[in-house]
């Protein structure tokens, strides 16, 4: 089946089998291997991408379901060779160890900051509930998201 | 984990979807958000010849108030329900239940209608819809009918929907005065599914006694059910802590209780009483009772 997808800002057309999962489309048809395949059972969040602006697990979406949609993957975040604030946050705050969960974490965090630009630590943890880090580096991941939130829309420190 | 091959159909209207599903009969399956069906297809527990994706049928995506009822289109996602200001005011049990489902990504894609039609015995929505005394609309080429939630669930993964019918809407009562609702669950730590989930809706009369009560329970039996014995002990009485605890003790009465790796039947029966009590206490407190 012929599908048309706006992938990281540019439209492309491909012939795909209806049973092709979106994550395989991204990795094997479009060649964007930044989106990882972890559990393949809608659990781990490594394959998280933005589908029409919403974070979804691309192992549980058919590529044909995304026909006509806009998709953003980890490759679509940096612009003009400059890291996205979330990428910078993960760099600065040591938000990754092995890095396998990182693309999914960043895409889920991307939606979180879109819905809630100034999340508390608890809200960050809730926003990332669908993403598992097997290195268990959660403290630094939360700090990385806080770094990005501050970078994207600076807020003066609340007096306690 | 690749599904078996199938033919994919993407109707734009409900009429077109109904025609396709009537044509394919048992060989066709309806795809909504895909967060119940696609996992089954990836495991090859389901291998439909024809997949009718209703995801583009815009007329099935809405939340609206209609007199003292709330009607929700089947394709409304868990997140849309979770974040709906109308529902937070008019039917707070639904957003409260939505928040308990899966995770953020799952709630962005999974739909109310899809979950109900799938009828997983440990899903969250059935408890809420049963407690509310809701109804489910089924449409086919030959017309439409409203099915009370209590008659909708038949067995594990089985509902009264016919092969040519599409679940199109859900209708529940809006929150009246002196009423409270709550959903609490004991989740399986890895999957998030309910080992026990209890939803309660309580309406108090002017004297503070229970005028109406609905209790829906999921995760405990082969199908979600309405706990009539619990309701019977409460109805007409002042909802004191003692009366609530007495009522909740009947939570698993008359059902064959599930037993699995995570919870024996005895433990689940105990949890059902505990979570039913907690749901009722919260609902009564929210209704303004003591």
Report pLDDT digits (tens) over B95-123. 999 999 999 999 999 999 999 999 999 99
Beta-carbon separation of A40 and B42 below 8 A: yes
Identify which of B266, B234, B230 has the alpha carbon closest to the alpha carbon of residue B249: B230
Question: Which residue of chain A is at minimal alpha-carbon distance from B104?
Answer: A130
For residues A94 and A96, what is the distance between their CA atoms, to the nearest angstrom?
A: 6
CB of B5 within 8 Å of a chain A CB? The answer is yes
CB of B189 within 8 Å of a chain A CB? The answer is no
Structure ipTM? 0.95
For residues B287 and B211, what is the distance between their CA atoms, to the nearest angstrom?
A: 11
Nearest-CA distance B82 → chain A (Å): 13
Query: Under DSSP, is residue B285 helix (H, G, I), strand (E, B) or coil?
Result: helix
Q: Indicate the pLDDT class of residue A159, thresholds 50, 70 and 90.
A: very low
Of A17, A54, A62, the CB nearest to B108: A54
Q: Which pLDDT value is given to residue B152?
A: 98
Q: Which pLDDT value is given to residue A158?
A: 52
C-beta separation of A143 from A95 below 8 A: yes
User: Which residues in chain B have their CB less than 8 angstroms from residue A59's CB?
Assistant: 1
CA angle, residues B206, B212, B214, in degrees to nearest 5: 145
Distance of CA B103 to the CA centre of its chain: 17
Across B236-262, b (16+ Cβ under 10 Å) vs e yields eeebeeebbbebbbbbbeebebbeeee
Q: Spell out the residues 6+ positions from residue A114 whose beta carbon is closer than 8 angstroms to its own.
A: A53
CATH architecture of B61-173: 2-Layer Sandwich (3.30)
Give CATH for domain B179-286: 3.30.390.50
DSSP 8-state symbol, A158: P
Beta-carbon separation of A60 and B38 below 8 A: yes
Q: Say yes or no to pLDDT of B88 above 70.
A: yes
Mean pLDDT of chain B, nearest integer: 97
- What domains can be seen in chain A, in order of their start residue? 2-76 (3.10.20.30), 85-152 (1.10.150.120)
CB of A150 within 8 Å of a chain B CB? The answer is no
Domains of chain B, residue spans: 7-54, 61-173, 179-286
On the 0-12 / 13-18 / 19+ scale of CB atoms within 10 A, A61 is buried
CB of B202 within 8 Å of a chain A CB? The answer is no
Q: Say yes or no to pLDDT of A156 above 90.
A: no
Sign of CA dihedral B228, B230, B232, B235: negative
Q: Say yes or no to pLDDT of B32 above 60.
A: yes
Q: Which pLDDT value is given to residue B290?
A: 57
Beta-carbon separation of B39 and A42 below 8 A: yes
For residues A9 and A73, what is the distance between their CA atoms, to the nearest angstrom?
A: 10
Of A18, A56, A127, the CB nearest to B51: A18
CATH architecture of B7-54: 2-Layer Sandwich (3.30)
For residues B236 and B207, what is the distance between their CA atoms, to the nearest angstrom?
A: 10
């Amino acid at each position: 089946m012929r599908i048309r997808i706006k992938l990281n800002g540019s439209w492309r057309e491909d012939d795909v089998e209806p049973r092709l999962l979106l994550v395989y489309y991204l990795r094997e048809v479009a060649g964007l291997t930044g989106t990882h395949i972890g559990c393949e059972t809608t659990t781990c969040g490594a394959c998280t991408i933005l589908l029409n602006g919403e974070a979804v697990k691309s192992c549980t979406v058919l590529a044909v379901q995304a026909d006509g949609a806009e998709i953003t993957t980890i490759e679509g975040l940096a612009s003009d060779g400059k890291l996205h604030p979330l990428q910078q946050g993960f760099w600065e705050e040591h938000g990754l160890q092995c890095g396998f969960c990182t693309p999914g974490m960043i895409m889920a965090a991307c939606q979180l900051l879109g819905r809630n630009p100034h999340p508390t630590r608890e809200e960050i943890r809730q926003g990332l509930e669908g993403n598992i880090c097997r290195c268990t580096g959660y403290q630094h991941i939360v700090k990385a998201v806080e770094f990005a939130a501050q970078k994207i829309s600076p807020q003066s420190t609340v007096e306690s | 984990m690749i599904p078996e091959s199938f033919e994919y159909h993407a109707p734009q209207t409900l009429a077109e979807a109904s025609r396709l599903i009537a044509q394919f009969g048992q060989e066709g399956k309806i795809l909504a958000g895909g967060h119940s069906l696609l996992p089954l297809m990836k495991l090859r527990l389901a291998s439909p010849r024809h997949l009718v994706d209703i995801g583009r049928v815009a007329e099935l995506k809405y939340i609206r108030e209609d007199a003292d009822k709330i009607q929700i289109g089947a394709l409304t996602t868990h997140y849309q329900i979770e974040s709906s200001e109308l529902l937070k005011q008019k039917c707070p049990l639904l957003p409260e239940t939505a928040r308990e489902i899966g995770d953020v990504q799952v709630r962005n894609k999974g739909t109310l209608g899809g979950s109900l039609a799938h009828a997983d015995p440990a899903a969250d929505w059935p408890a809420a819809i049963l407690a509310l005394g809701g109804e489910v609309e089924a449409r086919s080429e030959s017309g439409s009918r409203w099915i009370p939630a209590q008659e909708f669930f038949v067995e594990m993964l089985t509902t009264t929907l016919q092969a040519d019918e599409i679940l199109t809407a859900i209708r529940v009562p809006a929150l009246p005065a002196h009423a409270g609702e709550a959903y609490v669950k004991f989740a399986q730590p890895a999957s998030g599914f309910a080992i026990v989930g209890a939803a309660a809706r309580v309406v108090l009369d002017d004297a503070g006694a229970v005028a109406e009560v609905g209790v829906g329970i999921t995760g405990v039996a082969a199908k979600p059910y309405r706990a009539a014995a619990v309701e019977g002990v409460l109805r007409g009485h002042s909802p004191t802590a003692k009366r609530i605890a007495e009522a909740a003790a009947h939570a698993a009465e008359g059902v064959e209780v599930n037993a699995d790796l995570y919870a024996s039947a005895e433990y689940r029966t105990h949890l059902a009483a505990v979570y039913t009590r907690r749901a009722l206490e919260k609902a009564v407190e929210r209704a303004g009772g003591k």
